Amino acid sequence: MPDYFGLVWTRLLAVLTYLGLRKQRPADTAPADTDRGDYGKTVARLHDDEREVGPLNAEETRRLRRIKLFGATGSVLILIGALGTGAVPVLQNPVAGMRVLSLPSRMFGTALALSIGGAITLVVAWLLLGRFAVGRFSVEVRHGRSPERRMSRRQADRTLMLWIAPIVVAPPLLSKDIYSYLAQSAIAFRGMDPYSVSPVRGLGVDHILTRSVPNLWRDTPAPYGPFFLWIGEGITKITGDNITAAIFLHRIVALIGVALIVWALPRLARRCGVSSVAALWLGAMNPLVILHLVGGIHNEALMLGLMLVGLELSFRAIYGADRLRRPGTLVPTRAGWLLIAGGAVLAASAMIKVTSMLALGFVGIALAMRWGATLPALRHAPIREWWDRSRSSVYMLSASAAFYVVVLGVVMMGISLGTGLGFGWTGTLSTGEIVRSWMSMPTLLSVTTGRIGVTLGLGEHTQAILEVARPIGQLVAALFIVRWMLATLGGRLHPLGALGVSMATVVLFFPFVQAWYLLWAVIPLAAWATGAWFRISTIAASAIIAIVVMPTSSNTSGVVLAQGLLAGVIMVAVLTALFFEDRAPGRRRRRGPAPDDHETPADPASARR
């Protein structure tokens, strides 16, 4: 027993040391006057400044045009396949009975093949487009270099709009969450509390909206913030029980969120010394954004859009040269009002989904650092000196925290009371825990352990394990987030990068995770992280998840799925040959070598010489 406790104690000390919570002094090292600690040293390697490069040449522009049309073809295939595999409503299906448009719904296998083939085509097009955003995998991405040329911002924006256009008119993709939005909004419109009344109890089991809500969510209250339900309530006021019109308006809201992401992401990237086009490609043009935020109509689009806009407004004020208040008064200057507006937008984002409230902590640290807060040398200092070293930073951090608490409190009370929805949302934040997602590490470990226990004849204890593992996971995530905050205070991490890493930590240890939750971390990190490890892993994860999450149901047989997958792969192979194979054998030789075959100067003037 003593050996066992000794081992546990040693492990505990090691964990505390890694988190920076244990005071240490090397035996032969004198105390240091300045010490940022080890907070974020490894994570800081994910970032390096990128240089701006010239535009694409004529040959690369021709290739870009082919890739753009290739991806648009994938989106059109997704649109056609979604008529049979999309999350169409149980009642009021707008294409039911139409001679042509209803064909995919009567040919599920064909529709599944089109959907899978379209998704793979879109992902392949996105990967090919990366050549003109972050560079070639084996040359620039792998070695962390900037490419010689990139596509322009205008080319990136037009490509994104072309790929999204067919998805805008498609049925909801890969998720039926939109029908929960509609039912909860209808409950609020009727004057009931959606945080205590479920769709079944508020609308009735036979109501036209309840019929399309998945069984898992029919008897659960709304887990979303009052700002989002207030928007949904307005949509219900306009559309009534017209499901098609309501879906379209909710998709408009999602598109507004994507537009906010496209506006803010390049500006945040330039602020961090990262290529705006590279950030757009990895963040806004990510297949998960197109398939899930736009296609699936998830409220993360608006949440992330508002969060990024709030961050950009806050950073403009914090890192600008103008004073935040007039000397000798508490009256805000123009920069001060910009700071308040940034905090208010961040708070409004948290009233859609509370996860984005984490951003307030990091802009709060950035504001305190502007006022002079630092991470003092505490680990090498005697305890009696801690307060003297920390007093000024503690005051500045407290003032910053008080400022953002006031902003958050005002916005929270204004939205909660102004919408008439109250504060019931604070009691339904854990509603989603009924989902057992394989993408959540605590849930995956708990379910796996429970299955092993059942196999060994120890009984079914999965739920009991979940009730222990999930809180432990959240505690571990909180400790790591504190570490990233200390790294930000020490000046080692930019607040945007630390926020992205913290979001990744939250996703990793969250009790329930969906495919699009990955975007919580990917989108902010796209504007800061440039390391090869980050980009390679993010590209791979985004591409794999975009393909693995298929529009299938629980009653889809393995044979049908295998046939659809095989047909989809063959379809992509044929399309690739049609789009990228030169049909005239001597055409390339007569035209001469492509510019990429030889080194081309970045300066056009030097090329003319």
Tell how far CA 248 is from the center of its chain: 22
What percent of the chain lies above the pLDDT cut of 70? 87
pLDDT tens digits, 31-70: 344 445 556 667 777 767 777 788 888 988 999 999 999 9
| Residue 390 and residue 537 in one domain | yes
What average pLDDT does the segment 291-318 reach? 95
Which pLDDT score, from 0 to 100, does residue 12 have?
58
What is the rounded distance in angstroms from the CA atom of residue 512 to the CA atom of residue 432? 7
What average pLDDT does the segment 365-372 reach? 92
Q: How confident is the model at residue 23 (pLDDT cuts 50, 70, 90)?
A: very low
Least confident range from 35-44, 145-154, 567-576: namely 35-44
Which pLDDT score, from 0 to 100, does residue 33 have?
40
What are the phi and psi torsion angles at 296 (to 5°)?
A: -85, -10
What is the rounded distance in angstroms from the CA atom of residue 338 to the CA atom of residue 345? 10
Which pLDDT score, from 0 to 100, does residue 10 have?
63
Q: How confident is the model at residue 26 (pLDDT cuts 50, 70, 90)?
A: very low
CB 447 within 8 A of CB 436: yes
Which of 417, 420, 374, 419 is closest to 397 using CA atoms? 374
Helix (H, G, I), strand (E, B) or coil at 298: coil
Looking at the structure of the chain, the number of domains it has is 2
Asked whether residue 271 is assigned to any structural domain, the reply reads: no
- In sequence order, what DSSP letters do the residues of 304-316 get, joined into one string? HHHHHHHHHHHHH
| Residue 569 and residue 426 in one domain | no
> Alpha carbon of 466 to those of 223, 355, 503, 561: distances in Å?
20, 21, 22, 31
Task: Select from 548, 572, 598 the last residue of a domain.
Answer: 548
CB atoms within 10 A of CB 462: 18
Asked whether residue 444 is assigned to any structural domain, the reply reads: yes
Q: How confident is the model at residue 310 (pLDDT cuts 50, 70, 90)?
A: very high
Which of 517, 495, 365 is closest to 40 using CA atoms? 495
CB atoms within 10 A of CB 446: 24
Which pLDDT score, from 0 to 100, does residue 514 have?
87
Least confident range from 15-24, 185-194, 316-325: namely 15-24
What is the rounded distance in angstroms from the CA atom of residue 435 to the CA atom of residue 554? 15
| Residue 453 and residue 534 in one domain | yes
Q: What global pTM score does this model have?
A: 0.86
What is the rounded distance in angstroms from the CA atom of residue 385 to the CA atom of residue 235? 59
| Residue 87 and residue 221 in one domain | no
Asked whether residue 21 is assigned to any structural domain, the reply reads: no
| Residue 487 and residue 401 in one domain | yes
| Residue 98 and residue 210 in one domain | no
pLDDT tens digits, 249-278: 999 999 999 999 999 999 999 999 899 999
Which pLDDT score, from 0 to 100, does residue 462 have?
81
Asked whether residue 44 is assigned to any structural domain, the reply reads: no
| Residue 158 and residue 56 in one domain | yes
> Alpha carbon of 537 to those of 242, 276, 287, 289: distances in Å?
42, 20, 15, 17
Tell me: pLDDT of 25 over 80.
no
- The dihedral through the CA atoms of 389, 395, 396, 397 has a sign that is positive
Asked whether residue 316 is assigned to any structural domain, the reply reads: yes
Helix (H, G, I), strand (E, B) or coil at 149: strand
CB atoms within 10 A of CB 151: 23
Q: How confident is the model at residue 550 (pLDDT cuts 50, 70, 90)?
A: confident
The chain-wide mean pLDDT, for the chain, equals 84
| Residue 167 and residue 142 in one domain | yes
Asked whether residue 354 is assigned to any structural domain, the reply reads: yes
For residue 273, give both structure tokens.
Answer: 């010394």
What percent of the chain lies above the pLDDT cut of 90? 49
Q: How confident is the model at residue 378 (pLDDT cuts 50, 70, 90)?
A: low
Q: 386-418 and 358-370 are packed helices; what angle lies between their axes, rounded to 10 degrees?
A: 130
| Residue 235 and residue 354 in one domain | yes
> Alpha carbon of 355 to those of 280, 359, 483: distances in Å?
22, 9, 18
Which pLDDT score, from 0 to 100, does residue 16 have?
52
The better pLDDT of the pair 11, 455 is held by 455
Task: Select from 525, 548, 571 the last residue of a domain.
Answer: 548
What average pLDDT does the segment 176-195 reach? 92
The better pLDDT of the pair 599, 385 is held by 385
| Residue 441 and residue 531 in one domain | yes
Which of 23, 47, 122 is closest to 499 using CA atoms? 47
Tell me: pLDDT of 27 over 50.
no
For residue 358, give both structure tokens.
Answer: 């984490």
Which pLDDT score, from 0 to 100, does residue 2 have?
45
| Residue 433 and residue 490 in one domain | yes
- Tell me how long the chain is: 609
What is the rounded distance in angstroms from the CA atom of residue 19 to the CA atom of residue 17? 5
What average pLDDT does the segment 360-364 reach? 95
The better pLDDT of the pair 78, 491 is held by 78
Asked whether residue 602 is assigned to any structural domain, the reply reads: no
What average pLDDT does the segment 436-460 reach? 81
Name residues whose C-beta falls within 8 Å of residue 320's C-beta, 6 or more positions apart in sequence.
335
Which pLDDT score, from 0 to 100, does residue 554 have?
67
Which pLDDT score, from 0 to 100, does residue 72 have?
95
Tell me: pLDDT of 609 over 60.
no
Asked whether residue 460 is assigned to any structural domain, the reply reads: yes
Q: Domain of 138?
A: 50-171+550-580
pLDDT tens digits, 116-140: 999 999 999 999 999 998 888 877 7
Which pLDDT score, from 0 to 100, does residue 353 have?
92
pLDDT tens digits, 381-406: 677 777 777 888 889 999 999 999 99
Least confident range from 304-308, 369-373, 411-415: namely 369-373
What average pLDDT does the segment 477-505 reach? 91
Q: How confident is the model at residue 566 (pLDDT cuts 50, 70, 90)?
A: very high
Burial class (CB in 10 A: 0-12, 13-18, 19+), 346: buried
Q: 495-509 and 462-489 are packed helices; what angle lies between their axes, rounded to 10 degrees?
A: 170
Which pLDDT score, from 0 to 100, does residue 15 have?
52
| Residue 157 and residue 304 in one domain | no
Which pLDDT score, from 0 to 100, does residue 604 have?
41
SS (H, E, C) 488-507: HHCCCCCHHHHHHHHHHHHH
